[in-house]
Amino acid sequence: MKIQVYAILSCFILSFDLVGQTAIDFTFTDTQGQQHQLYEDYLDQGKTVLVDFFFVDCPPCNVFAPLLQDIYVDWGEGQEDVEFFSLSTKAWDSNADVKGYEDMHGLTNPGAGVDGGALDIFTTYLESEFGPIFGSPYFMVIAPNGTVFTDVDGPGLLGRIDAINQAITDAIALTDTVVVEPDPVLTFNLDLKDTKGNQVNDVTYTLRSSEGSGPSYTITPDFFGNVTIIDFESTYPGLIDPVIAFTKDGNYLDGVFTTDIILIMRHLLGIQPFDKDYQFVAADVSNDLNVTAADMSIIRKNILQQQDGFPSGVSWKFNPSQVSIDPLSTHDIEFQVEAIKIGDVNRH
């Protein structure tokens, strides 16, 4: 789809077409041996590109060439946000021929002939929605977002100059339009269950940096364990490699009975070794990463009320003890965490 656009400037009517399709990517090698890729090297870098389809023996092209160089200089001569390409439309124009044309007119913008890929580019555009292409020179202006202004022209040399400048200005305006991006949203689920697969309540979720220093924040999942954070960095500033750690207070003896002492003893005697990972964690009430007779003694003293609490200072442990958060993630993430009651080897 093409939309004819008219602009009244300096008492002349300027015209160019806006094509609904975005620019077709292309690559060419200029007369200096330098390769240019439309999107990667220019549009994706925020540059607007003017394409001049011409040929070396074209009389109007030769007349307009010095004026085109002046326009190129006015727009920064390729050093700012605008670049010009001169691409021959004829099979008999080699890069060497185009180089002679450039030298004759003092042109400094990239240009190419048939051996540089110019004719392939012209044919691609000619046979696409951007065609037909009539006349030489023929100008297109491509905005960084891929919008193409085709058939950029005006009456006479001055009208053509005004049309080119206007199309470039309009293309840059498309780039300069302020787009308000929505705040990034981070969504994840904390599926936290005990060793029987039951949901665990009254857990404190602490959001902090992985190394443990700096600020920390308490977060509260909904009933289903879901957490949604809008604009993570603003909501929870100062975090480096953020993690969520889990803690749960409670009576040390909840779920702890003499049967747990017996199970630990049978494990140590080799009569009934533990076969579940959580059993080793639950039995290690001394928090020394080993299961020994000392663990049996600590549990027995707590049951007899000769001791209040376990050396670790906690009654629950979690596997994993913390989970890492990627604030830039755009995908829903689910973390499965197992809550283990210390001392409860038998899962009472």
pLDDT at 3 over 50: no
Same domain, 155 and 197: no
Q: Mean pLDDT throughout 174-189?
A: 70
In this structure, are 163 and 208 located in the same domain? no
Residue 273 within any structural domain of the chain: yes
Q: Tell me whether residue 212 is in a domain.
A: yes
**Within this chain, do residues 92 and 148 fall inside the same structural domain, yes or no?**
yes
Give the model's pLDDT for residue 62. Answer: 96
Q: Are residues 209 and 77 in the same domain?
A: no
Query: Are 73 and 91 in the same domain?
Result: yes
Q: Is 25 inside any structural domain?
A: yes
Residue 99's domain is classified under what CATH number?
A: 3.40.30.10
Q: Are residues 207 and 328 in the same domain?
A: yes
My answer on whether 39 and 130 are in the same domain is: yes
Q: Are residues 25 and 154 in the same domain?
A: yes
From the list 199, 211, 299, 185, the residue with the least C-alpha distance to 252 is: 299
Over residues 85-117, the pLDDT tens digits come to 999 999 999 999 999 999 999 999 999 999 999
Of the residues 132, 148, 176, the one at which a domain ends: 176
**Greater model confidence, 52 or 20:** 52
Domain boundary, last residue among 142, 176, 210: 176
Q: Write the pLDDT tens digit of every residue in 23-78.
A: 899 999 999 999 999 999 999 999 999 999 999 999 999 999 999 999 999 999 99
Percent of all residues in the chain with a pLDDT value above 90, rounded to a whole number: 64
Based on the domain organization, do 193 and 158 belong to the same domain?
Answer: no
The parent domain of residue 68 ranges over 2-176
Query: In this structure, what token pair is assigned to residue 48?
Result: 């607007």
Q: Please check whether residue 346 lies inside any domain of the structure.
A: no
Q: Which residues contact 246 (CB under 8 A, 6 or more apart)?
A: 192, 203, 204, 205, 206, 318, 321, 322, 337, 339
Looking at the fold, whether 155 and 247 belong to one and the same domain comes out as no
The pLDDT, as a whole number, for residue 65 is: 95
Q: Are residues 144 and 7 in the same domain?
A: yes
Q: What are 182-211's pLDDT values in tens digits?
A: 677 888 898 989 999 998 888 999 999 999
Instruction: Please identify, among 150, 176, 202, the residue that sits at the C-terminal boundary of a domain.
Output: 176
CA distances from 242 to 9, 78, 185 (A): 57, 43, 16
How many residues belong to the chain? 348
Residue 348, in any domain of the structure: no
For residue 219, being part of any structural domain is answered with: yes
What total number of domains does the chain contain? 2
For residue 178, pLDDT beyond 50: no
**CATH number, position 198:** 1.10.1330.10
Q: What is the pLDDT of residues 222-269, one digit of tens each?
A: 988 899 988 898 999 999 999 999 999 888 899 999 999 999 999 999
Residue 192 in any domain: the answer is: yes
**All residues at 6 or more sequence positions from 326 whose CB lies less than 8 Å from its CB, including other chains:** 186, 333
pLDDT of residue 58: 95
The mean per-residue pLDDT over the stretch 286-294 comes to: 93
Give the integer Cα–Cα distance in Å for 277 and 261.
17
Residue 294 lies in a domain: yes
Whether residues 215 and 320 fall in one domain = yes
